[in-house]
Amino acid sequence: MFPIQDTIPSRSFPLVNWMLIAINVLVFMHELSLGPEGIEPFVRTWGLVPAEFAHAHRPLAWWEYYPFFTNMFLHGGWGHLIGNMWTLYIFGDNVEDRMGKGGYLIFYLLCGVAASYTHYALNMDSTVPALGASGAISGVMGAYMFMFPHSTIIFMVPLFFIPYFFEVSAFFYLAVWFIGQFFSGTVSLLMPTNGAGIAFWAHVGGFVAGVVLFRLFARPPLYEEKVYPAYYRYRNYHSW
């Protein structure tokens, strides 16, 4: 089951959303150029290693906490990058529509930092670098869930090489996704490991930050008057 798109078209070109996607891709291209010997020190420098902050041997200056910010632009592989950027592509344009370009950028970065801190607070002994945009993107998903509760997501399922399309309520899909992340994060706390894995609590922290913060950045809710009618017109001409 693969999400294709949502059913609410954006009203303006999502410049910031595309800019964020481009930055993530460019940083990943740089990671690939470093080779096997250069990538590990790069990730340990710019990724978030919780133990280095929780067990620091000296007081740290404020600027030394930059990994809480920079880690959200790193990725651990093609699948990691493509999955995150596709999700941002689906949900980010509408959230940018409602917040405006400047507000959306600030909102995205705040959610990313909140996700980093949540992961740090619950994994202080971890020496594994945490990286990825999924915490910030989770915040975008949380905002989308409450900004556009009547939207639906179009999914594609290949059945015997034949694509089958169907729609699922965006609110339901995102709620189930969040519950799954929370449950998985809880299980991970009961079975601690120092190995690489999914930072479920970063997803939870980013999502909660998005739900809490979006009201500070959302512009007046014009979608009831303009976006929803456009949504229904769109559905009339795009049946799957």
Q: Which of 1-15, 70-84, 113-127, 172-186 has the lowest mean pLDDT?
A: 1-15
Domain range spanning residue 134?
2-237
Half-sphere CA count of 209, side-chain side, radius 13 A? 26
- The string of pLDDT tens digits covering residues 56-96 is 888 889 899 999 999 999 999 999 999 999 999 999 999 99
Q: What is the pTM of this model?
A: 0.88
* pLDDT band with cut points at 50, 70 and 90 for residue 213: very high
Are the C-beta atoms of 72 and 115 separated by less than 8 Å? yes
Are the C-beta atoms of 8 and 147 separated by less than 8 Å? no
Tell me: pLDDT of 221 over 80. no
**What share of the chain has pLDDT > 70, as a percent?**
90
**How many CB atoms within 10 Å of residue 199?**
28
* pLDDT band with cut points at 50, 70 and 90 for residue 192: low
**Alpha-carbon gap, residue 178 to 228, rounded angstroms:** 25
CATH number of the domain to which 90 belongs: 1.20.1540.10
Structural domains in the chain (count): 1
DSSP β-bridge partners for residue 159? 162
